[in-house]
Structures are given as C-alpha cells and as structure tokens.
Structure 1
Amino acid sequence: MRLKSKIYLYTSVLFAALLAVVCISVYVLFQRMSVEDETQRIQAEAFLIAERVAGSSAQIAPDDLLRAYVPADGMLRVVRPEGTSLSAVTNGAGDAFTAETYAYHESVTSERLSAGGSGYIRVSVPVIWSDGEVRSVQISRSIADTEGRLAVLRTVLVVVSLLALIPAILASRVLSNRIVKPISALTGTMGDIRQSGKFRQIETGQKPGDELAEMERAFNEMIALLEANFARQERFVSDASHELKTPLTIIESYANLLRRRGKERPEVFDEAVGAILSESVRMRELTERLLQSARRPEADTLEMTETNLTASVRESAAAFSGAYGRRVNVRADDVVPVTTDTAKVRQLLFILLDNARKYSEDGIEVEVSGGSGIAARIRVIDRGVGIPEAELPKVFDRFYRVDSSRTRQTGGSGLGLSLAQDIAEALGVQIGIESQVGKGTMVTLAFPTLNLPRPTSDTRSGKTGLGRRSTRTDEHKSERKERS
C-alpha cells in the first residue's frame, strides 16, 4: 500500500473511532442521567402514594384504595411479608406484571424491568399497614417517553457521526496529499536525475521550520554537494587526461627509441633515460597537484594556532634551498605573530618558491613584515622573465601558462598558483601578484591581524590592492588554469 493511501486510511479510521467513542460516551451518559432522574421521580411518587394508602387503609376497601392511586401507565400492589399480595391494580399498561411472583422488600428498592418491548421502573417502599403489619407498596411505571428520547438521541448521534465523517475523510485526503507532496517531488526529482543525468533541486513551498521543509533543505544541500563532487570528478578526469597525455607520449616515444637504438647508441640511451626520468618526476608532481586540486575545500581541516611567521618562513626557505640548491634570501622582522595553520602556510610558500625557481635563474628573495596590529605580509620576489600586464588576470586560472614552450622546459603543469589561491582562501589570506616583463615577479600574501576576524568570501574574492599591476581573480574558478 502506498504511503498516501496509508495516511488516508489510518487518519480516516482513527477519526471514525474517536467519533464513535465520543458518541457512545455521550449516549451512555445521557441515558444514565435520564434513567436516574426518572427513578428519583418515581421514588418520590411512591413515597407519597405509600403514605396515603397506609393512612386510608382502615377506612377504604383495599381494591378501591389502590385503584384510586394506580398510575396511568403502570401497576400498583401491596405485598405482604409472606409473599402474598392484595389484588394488583393496573390501568392496562402494567398487565404484564400481574402474573409475576411477589417479592417482598424490607427497604426502599428500585429496579429497571422490561415487558412487552417497553421499559419499566419498579419502586418498593415499606409501610406500616392499619393492622400493624409492615408491608411493601410496589409501584411499576413505564419509561417509554424516556426510551423514546434516547432512541431519538441515538438516531441523531448516528446521523451526525455519518455527516461528520464526510469532511473528516476529505480532510484526511487533503492531509495525505500535503504530506506526500514533497516526498513525491523528491522521488520525481530523483527519477529525473537518474534519467537525464542532470542535477536538480526541489521546491515544495513548505514553510521553514517544519520537518518537510527540513527534508527539502537537506535534499537540496545533498544535491548541491553531489553536483559539486561530480563537477570536481569531471574536472579531475579532464585535467588528468589533458595534462598526463603529453608526458606519457614522451615516455612512450623514448621507450620505443630505446628499444630500437638504445643498445647500439649509448648517447641515445642516456638521452632517453634522462627524458623518461624527467617526465616521470613531472608526472608524479602533476598527479599530486591534481589530487590536491580535486579535493573538497571543506575536506581540509585547519589547525589554527598562534605562531611566529618569521620562524616558519625561515624554516621553509632553508628546506627549499637544500632540496633544489637555490639560494633563498629571507629579510624579516624578528617576530611577526599570526594565527594560522602553519602546515598550510608552508605548503603555500613552497608553491610560490617553486614557481619562482622555474621562472628565474637568480636568487629568490622573501620578505616578512607586520605585527603589533599591522597585517602580516609575505613577499616572494624573483628576478626572472616576468609576466606581461595583459596576462596577469589569468595567472590564477587552472592550467594557464604564460609561455607554453618555456613551461615545457621548466616542467610546469599550470596548477601551482590555482592551488595556492585555494589554500589562501581557506586560510583567509589575500594573495596578489605584481610583475614586469624582464624584471621579475612579486607575489604577496596578506594575513589578517590578530584582533580582526578572518576575511569573508566576498573580501577574499576582490582585488588585493598591492600596486598598479596587482590582481587576483575569481572569474574562472570552475576551469582555472595557472602559470607554474
């Protein structure tokens, strides 16, 4: 059974059951009150008749006495202790009780009887007769009027219940439709996504705060996350196929050359092995950067600590200089305090130093300044080929290269500055670049001060304002290419 039918059936049955309980309770309560009122009225009448009959029993014949007080819709009789009685007197309505076995009651009693399809109430009242004997005066009266009113009440309750079920059933249908609507929209959207392969979000119009609106929000957030992950996956596959094709082709070509001529010609062997090794190293670096670029930005857990930026930069520069044999000159204040993720800063600095190494032959300079309420800054300066002013807005785009032939010689993949921009955004650091052709390039990292909040995404997406040629762009984040 479908959920909509279940809700419709269960709510209808539940409302019908509640309505039946209410109607039965009303009827039982009204019946009890009506019978008790009728019994009290007959008891009062029985006390009055018993007093008068006992007081006149010595002067008037018993039959005439009872006939004078017999009710119009019942029976009157006097029962002796031994179980015998004077002649029962009726007006026709109580004839069914004349043949009954006499029952003597020493105290006031009342009971409900049924005869001939009608209901009666019998009240027994003990009295002292004229001869000093205690006898029981019994009055039986019909309660047909009360039963008639109860019958009318039963009919009214049944009719009202049936009439009330109609809007209840309609309300149940409306309720089931309203509850199932966002679920139907959800399943329909999932079916459309499965058939078309395109991500979509649902809009049910639910007011914020209820569970259905929460379900809609959670589904839309999940779809947005899946769409972003799918886009990253597609971008990774596209980037990998695009960038790995060239080194694989080179490796394959030199491997074929080795197989054909490597044994006879040592110079060919040395050239091929060197090229294969060089391309293998470049493939490894490219693969690492592709994997880092394809990760979810929120997957990186930042460990923000207060640290001395100068010490961190000096350690990173020394490690880089030892690895690549390039001189890195650090000019910095003794203490530049910042609150940041030290490991991410080192990763960011290595990317910038590696970029400077590839595009300059001279030494690399690193300047660190700031502290005491002033924003800390790191400047990485090289004296290399520089970047034309028209190319500066594109250097943070994925796989962008200012000079493709030069990039092939240096082993650049076009991912370094794009990855650096992502890391800087995660740290709340503003990144900017200034460059002149033939004179070199300066990349500046501006850290927030200790007493200021981290920059918002809007702040980070703007210009860095580092000079006339300084720029930082977000326009092409979906397919960024970079100079590396």
Structure 2
Amino acid sequence: MKITTKVNLFITVSLLVSLLIVNTIVFFLFMKTTVNMEAHLVFKNASEMLKKCHISKSLTLEKNLLNSYMPSHSFIRIVGPNSTTINQVTNDKVLVQKISPTFSTEKNFELRPFQEHQNLVVHVPIHQNHKVIGTLEISERLSRLESRKDIILSIMGTVTIVSVLLSFLAGRWLSAIIMKPIVSMISTMEDIEQSGTLKKIGIQTETKDEVHKMAATFNRMISKLKENSDKQRQFISDASHELKTPMTAVSSFITILRRHGTQDETIAKEAIEAIYLEINRMKNLTKTLLSLAELEDSEPVDIKSVDLVSLSKALVTQFMQVYDRPIILHKNSTPFSSREMN
C-alpha cells in the first residue's frame, strides 16, 4: 500500500471515528435535555393540577379537570398506596393497558418504550397532613421527541458524509503535497541507478519541514559522494603516475641485463642493485597509497623534503646506463658532465 493511500485512509478513518464519537455525545445530550424539558413541563402541569384541586382521602378527582390537562396519546391517573388505580382518564387505551400503575413516594420520571415510541411517565406524590396518600401518574407519548430525533439523526448523517468526503479530498491533496519531494527523490534515485550519474533533487521552496530536511540531507549526501568520487579518480590517477616511474626504471634495468647479460659484473651488479631499490620503492609507495586510501581527509599527510640534485644524479646515471648515451645535468647554471659523475 502506498504511503499516500495510508495517509489518506488514516485521516479519513480518524475523522470518521471522531465524528461518530462527537455525534454520539451530542445525540445523548440532546435526548437527555429534551426529555428533561418535557418532564419539566409535565411536572409543572401536575403541580398546577394539584394546586387547583382539593383531593380528599378517597383520592378522587373530577374527570373534566383531568381531561383539561391531558395531551394527546396520554393518560392521567391517581394511584393508591397499594399501586391500584383509583381514578383515571386516557385518550390512548392501548397505552394505559401496557403501563401498569406505580405508587411512588418521590417525585420522579422515567422513559418506557412502546410501539416504537418513547413514553414519558411522571410520578408526583400526593401529600396530605405531611403524609403521602397517593401518586399522580401522568404518561404521554413523546411524538415531538421522535420527530426531533429523526431530524437530528438526518443532520448528523449528512454532516458525517460531507465531512468524510471533504476529509478524503483534503487527505489526497495533503498527501500529494507531502509526497511530492519524496516522489522527486525516488525519481532521482532511479535516474542515478540507471545512468550512474550523481544528481541532486531540485528544491523549489524552503518549507523547513521534515520532508525538506530529508531532501536537503539527500543533496548533501550526493555532494559528498561526488567529492569522494572525484577524490577516488584523482587517487587512481596519482597512484598510476607514481607507480609508472619505478616500473619504467625496473623495465630499463631488465633491458640492460638482457642486452649485456651477466658478463659485465659491474653493470649487472648496478642493475640488480637498482632493481632492488626500485622494488623497495614500489613496495613503500604501495604501502603509502594504501594508507592514504584508508585515511580521512582530516588526517595529516607525512611530507618530507627531497634532495632534487641527488635524485637527479641517480636518474641520470640510470638513464645513461640504459640508453648508453651521454647525459648532462645542469645545476645552479653550472654544466655537470655525466662523465664526471662516475
């Protein structure tokens, strides 16, 4: 799975989960607040009913009075201490049969589901001589609650769908912005792999974020690789040049030995000695080159002074023996005859 897909999926799922949690909390608070408001209205009507009516010990009330306070799909009844109905009016006979009377000494309310609806049941104790002699029980179907619940659910569903869609589009846009330098880096790496040529990533804007730092680090790495590659080529060139000189000298003295053989002991001895010196020189040179290859740039190089006059005399002697011709060395504007060197 691509990183862009992962980022997009993560953002969308995170938003969806967050919306579900928020919607659940909002829906719960809405239902609780609405039910509390409905219960408050019913409690208010019950209190007015009890204030206007004189309730005897028989707990009887006029049905006309009860009907004046009764909403649609509800019932009002007086419940005695043994949870028996003493007086009752209703406009929903099914509802009154399903909800049994309950005697309560405390003011409370509850929700009871019935026929796919929520029904609010309120209990208000009836006091007489500081004693609870009965309970005024009022129940009504919360039809407005159902309609409001459908509205808020539809609103939440629409908002969730639109938010997830916008999140998906925003996630694609954001992932494209984040992955643009990474895609450029991948393309550059593929070009380097195919062509073998080191290239840098083009950074158009400095965003100072992690992706920009990664691209800048990649470019610094490419610069370091180019520098090391140039040093490697220079090292190979220098090593070849340094090894060429002693190899030429060894080859020259071998030519002398092949030409004169070992008959002339003086020439043979000089040639063997020179070959031995050049072999040791090559050995030391190879060791030095290997050491240089392992050293970092910060390591100091051991530089020694060389007597160019003595070195030149030795080379003149070697060349004169190899090519069998006179060679003159000039130093300090004074001619020096090769014949005098011997």
Q: Please give the range of the TM-score, normalised by the shorter of the 2 chains.
A: 0.7 to 0.9
Which residues in structure 2 correspond to 1:58-457 (within 5 Å)?
62-92=62-92, 95-128=94-127, 134-207=133-206, 209-255=208-254, 258=257, 262-284=261-283, 286-287=285-286, 298-300=297-299, 347-348=302-303, 350=304, 353-354=305-306, 357-359=307-309, 409=316, 438=332
Structure 2 unaligned runs (5+)?
A: 319-330, 335-342
Note the C-alpha offset of 1:295. 7.2
Cα deviation per residue 1:174-226 (whole Å; 9 max; x = unaligned)?
22222222222222212211211111111233525321121112111111111
Is the contact between residue 57 and residue 65 of structure 1 (CA under 8 Å) also seen in structure 2? no
- Structure-2 residue corresponding to 1:10: 10
**Contact 1:23–1:157 (8 Å) recurs in 2:** yes
Whether the 8 Å contact between 2:39 and 2:120 is mirrored in structure 1 is yes
How far has the Cα of 1:156 moved from its partner? 0.6
Note the alpha carbon deviations across 1:288-345, whole angstroms, 9 max, x for none: 66567767774327xxxxxxxxxxxxxxxxxxxxxxxxxxxxxxxxxxxxxxxxxx7x
Does the CA-based 8 Å contact 1:4-1:177 persist in structure 2? Answer: yes
Secondary structure in structure 2 of the residue aligned to 1:203: coil
Instruction: Say which SS state the counterpart of residue 86 (structure 2) adopts.
Output: coil
Tell me the percent identity.
29
Question: Contact (CA 8 Å) 1:78, 1:86: kept in 2 or not?
Answer: yes
Looking at structure 2, the residues matched to 206 and 224 of structure 1 have their Cα atoms a distance apart, in angstroms, of: 20
Contact 1:46 1:124 in 2 (8 A): no
Tell me, what secondary structure is at the counterpart of 1:98? helix
Classify 1:292/1:58 alpha carbon distance in 2 versus 1 (closer, same or farther; 3 Å).
Answer: closer
Q: Provide the rounded CA distance (Å) in 2 between the counterparts of 1:202 and 1:227.
A: 14
**1:417 alignment counterpart:** none
Judging changes above 3 Å, is the alpha-carbon distance between structure 1 residues 69 and 210 closer, same or farther for their aligned structure 2 residues?
Answer: closer
Matches of 2:204 and 2:314 in 1, distance apart? 53
Range moving further from structure 2, 28-37 or 243-252? 243-252
SS in 1 for 2:85: coil
Q: Is the 8 A contact 1:185 1:204 kept in 2?
A: no
How many positions carry a matched residue from both structures?
A: 321
CA contact (8 A) 1:122 1:139 kept: yes
Structure-1 residue corresponding to 2:23: 23
Flag the 1:406–1:39 CA change in 2: closer, same or farther, 3 A.
farther
Q: What's the secondary structure of 1:76's corresponding residue?
A: strand
Distance in 2, matches of 1:177 and 1:186, equals: 14
How much has 1:86 moved relative to structure 2? Answer: 2.7
| Shift in alpha-carbon separation, 1:229–1:59, aligned structure 2, 3 A | closer
In the other structure, the counterpart of 2:337 is none
User: Gaps (5+ residues) in structure 1?
Assistant: 302-343, 362-404, 412-436, 441-484
Q: 1:207 to 1:296 in 2, by over 3 A?
A: farther
Cα distance, 1:278 vs structure 2: 3.7
The whole-number CA distance in structure 2 between the counterparts of 1:5 and 1:61 is 71
User: How large is the RMSD of aligned CA atoms in angstroms?
Assistant: 3.5
Larger relative helix fraction: 2
Point out the more displaced range, 218-227 or 232-241.
232-241
Q: Matched residues in 2 for 1:110 and 1:184: separation?
A: 64
Displacement of 1:235 in angstroms is 1.8
User: 1:243, CA displacement in angstroms?
Assistant: 3.4
Tell me how far apart the structure 2 counterparts of residues 98 and 282 of structure 1 sit (CA, whole Å). 118
Q: Tell me: CA distance 1:278–1:247, structure 2 relative to 1, closer, same or farther (3 Å).
A: same
Give secondary structure in 2 for the equivalent of 1:88: strand
Q: For 2:197, what is the secondary structure of its paired residue? A: coil
Q: Quote the offset at 1:19 in angstroms.
A: 2.2
Separation of aligned partners in 1, 2:122 and 2:60: 23
Between the aligned partners of 1:51 and 1:24, the Cα distance in structure 2 is 40
Deviation at 1:75, TM superposition (A): 0.7
Contact between 2:198 and 2:222, CA under 8 Å: does it hold in 1?
A: yes
How far off its partner does 1:233 sit?
1.2
Given residue 200 of structure 2, which amino acid in structure 1 is its aligned partner? Q
Contact 2:7 2:171 in 1 (8 A): yes
Q: 2:327 aligns to what?
A: none
Which residue matches 1:461? Answer: none
Letter aligned with residue 200 of structure 1:
K
Q: Is the 8 A contact 2:126 2:134 kept in 1?
A: yes
C-alpha distance 406-48 of structure 1, shift in aligned 2 (>3 A): farther
Provide, for residues 113-138 of structure 1, a one-character-per-residue CA deviation record: whole Å limited to 9, x for no partner.
222222221111111479x9811111
Code of the aligned partner of 1:46: A
The answer for the alignment partner of 1:371 in structure 2 is none
Give the partner amino acid of 2:106: S
Change (3 A) 1:406 1:271: closer
Give the whole-Å Cα distance in 2 for the aligned partners of 1:198 and 1:239: 23
Pick closer, same or farther for the CA change 1:97–1:244 going to 2, 3 Å.
same
Q: Which residue of 2 aligns with 1:332?
A: none
- The code of the aligned residue for 1:146 comes to L
In structure 2, relative to structure 1, the CA distance for the partners of 1:406 and 1:220 (3 Å cut) is farther
